[in-house]
Amino acid sequence: MCGINGILGCQAIVNRDEVILRMNQAMIHRGPDAGDTYHDEHISLGHRRLSIIGLDESGNQPMKSTDGKVVLVFNGEIYNYKELKSLTPDYPFFSHTDTEVIIALYQSFGFEKMLELIDGMFAIALWDTEKTKLFLARDRFGKKPLYYTILKNETGGSHVVFSSEIRGLLASKLFHPKLNHDVLGEYLQIQCVREPNTIVHGVFHIPASNFCELDLGKFNIISENQLPTRNYWSLKVNQEYAEMEYSDALIKGRDLFYQSIEKRMISDVPLGAFLSGGIDSSAIVTGKQIGRAHV
């Protein structure tokens, strides 16, 4: 896992370089291999890297497009990035990472189409310097977290602070955390707080399978406490699978299971598995040995 941080609309923030560095430091356990920041007049971005694919420095983030118009911080893994790379043959790739494939797809197809194409787990913050737009997105099932809070500045404008963890937001020291009493009962009852809410007042999730497009030209008119997000995917019943005979369904389920293991084993570092003794972890290790994937 990696850690991403950012502040949009940060002109009024004093020492914002130090703010992002503090947020990055709070994320060092998520990304011990490398860390860096990006700043322009509108936005500050930070990243802590855990190197899995493309281990050299060319894979470090924040990553810029070759023309410098797009800046990306990304946490997660795109399983089908090698196949998707072939969709942008004219893009001058300088790394062997899935991160750069996201940038290439965005510049070729736009953000929504890019989300339809990629298969993986991710939290994405993509800044288009030319359009002055920030795109935030979370994967279909919300495996990778992305938290944010909206703060008002003294001039009446707004800025958004976002991070992979609430502790990253707290490390910014841009606001004083308060307990969200509205969801305390929910937490005590089910041991969690359902998104988009969190246990901290004014801090929210980007919901799973949702994205947000923030146009800086319209950003200061945002008066709500939450960002306007849109759903880009929903689970649908596959009618072909639903009508299968039981024996055929067993075979198809096994094949899909092995395929899911295989595509998660793309790595430039050694792989391992934790065995709890349960049927889930045992089945995964068995799938590694029997399926097309190999450790």
Query: Which stretches of the chain are DSSP H helices?
Result: 16-26, 81-85, 98-109, 111-117, 166-171, 184-190, 216-219, 239-242, 246-263, 279-290
| 77 exposure class (CB count in 10 Å sphere: 0-12, 13-18, 19+) | buried
Across the chain, the runs of DSSP E, i.e. the strands, are: 3-8, 34-39, 43-49, 63-64, 70-78, 120-128, 133-138, 147-152, 158-163, 204-205, 210-215, 229-231
Cα distance between residue 131 and residue 113, in whole Å: 17
What band does 219 get if pLDDT is binned at 50, 70 and 90? low
What is residue 160's three-state secondary structure?
Answer: strand
For 49-76, b where at least 16 C-beta lie within 10 A, e where not — what string? bebbbbbeeebbbbbbbeeeebbbbbbb
> Per residue in 197-206, pLDDT tens?
999 999 999 9
Q: What is the pLDDT at residue 74?
A: 96
Q: Are 209 and 233 in contact (CB under 8 A)?
A: yes
pTM of this prediction? Answer: 0.92
Residues taking part in catalysis: 2
Instruction: Please give the backbone phi and psi of residue 68, each rounded to the nearest 5 degrees, phi first.
Output: 75, 5
CA 79 and chain centroid, separation: 14
pLDDT at residue number 289: 62
For residue range 77-136, list pLDDT tens digits in order: 999 999 999 999 999 999 999 999 999 999 999 999 999 999 999 999 999 999 999 999
CB 64 within 8 A of CB 70: yes
For the chain, the farthest-separated pair of C-alpha atoms sits apart, in whole angstroms, at 66
